Amino acid sequence: MTAESKIESLVLGGGCFWCTEAAYKLLPGVKHVTSGYAGGKEPNPTYEQICAHTTSHAEVIKIDYDPAQVSFDTLLEYFWKVHNPTQVGGQGNDMGPQYRSIILYANDAQKAAAEKSRAAAAKIFRDKLTTEIVPLVKFWSGEDYHQDYFAKHPNEGYCSYVIAPKVKKLKHALAG
């Protein structure tokens, strides 16, 4: 990394953060991905509170990336490929508001890019997109045991049956 490199961040959610974290770690230019919570009003949310629906937060990831290596627009284009932005109330069998499709913007430029990206994606999907685009008020890092979950537990049931096939498909798409 050069002295001029500047790391920027994007926060988004597309279902289980274990899945989206594993997916974004595949992209060149992504320097770090942190699983956490955002989009709600409760301070210091915990995984248990999120699962009990006692907060309005979503499971999200904070993507730290080098814009000289990967653009914000590319990160957003990838977002539409790593989850189903038309599903209401969750992703696959992961149901609940914490698994909603959401992009949290940090500034007006991110908001405009997210809205433009959503409009382009809407032309591709047959069903209506459910993705929220909302201001990022605060990102709360998830508990340590959620970080790098797929990398640490590749043989755990959910990882091997849900995440591994998705990662394999994404690796193939990125290589081709």
pLDDT tens digit sequence for 56-112: 999 999 999 999 999 999 999 999 999 999 999 898 889 999 999 999 999 999 999
Q: Residue 108 burial (CB < 10 Å; 0-12/13-18/19+)?
A: exposed
pLDDT in tens, 147-158: 999 999 999 999
Stretch 31-51: mean pLDDT: 96
Determine the pLDDT at residue 4. Answer: 61
The residues, ordered by sequence, that sit 6+ positions from 90 with a Cβ below 8 Å of its Cβ are 15, 96, 99, 100
Domain extents for the chain?
8-175
Question: In this structure, what is the dihedral angle of CA atoms 55, 61, 62, 65, given to the nearest 10 degrees?
Answer: -170
Mean pLDDT score across all residues of the chain: 94
Stretch 117-129: mean pLDDT: 96
Q: Token match 């699983």: residue?
A: 35
Say whether 16 is catalytic. Answer: yes
Q: What burial letters (b/e) apply to 60-80, b meaning 16+ CB within 10 Å?
A: bbbbebbeeebebeebbebbb
Determine the pLDDT at residue 3. Answer: 52
Residue 84 exposure: Cα atoms within 13 Å on the Cβ side: 13
The residue from 16, 19, 51, 159 that is catalytic is 16
Determine the pLDDT at residue 5. Answer: 72
Q: How far apart are CA 34 and CA 21, in angstroms?
A: 7
Determine the pLDDT at residue 1. Answer: 47
Q: How far apart are CA 67 and CA 135, in angstroms?
A: 21
Determine the pLDDT at residue 92. Answer: 85
Q: Residue 57 burial (CB < 10 Å; 0-12/13-18/19+)?
A: buried
What is the band of 46 on the pLDDT scale with cuts at 50, 70, 90?
very high
pTM of the model: 0.94
Residue 12 backbone dihedrals phi, psi, to 5 degrees? -155, 165
Fold of 8-175: Peptide Methionine Sulfoxide Reductase; Chain A (3.30.1060)
User: Could you tell me which residue, 135 or 172, shows the higher pLDDT?
Assistant: 135
Determine the pLDDT at residue 121. Answer: 97
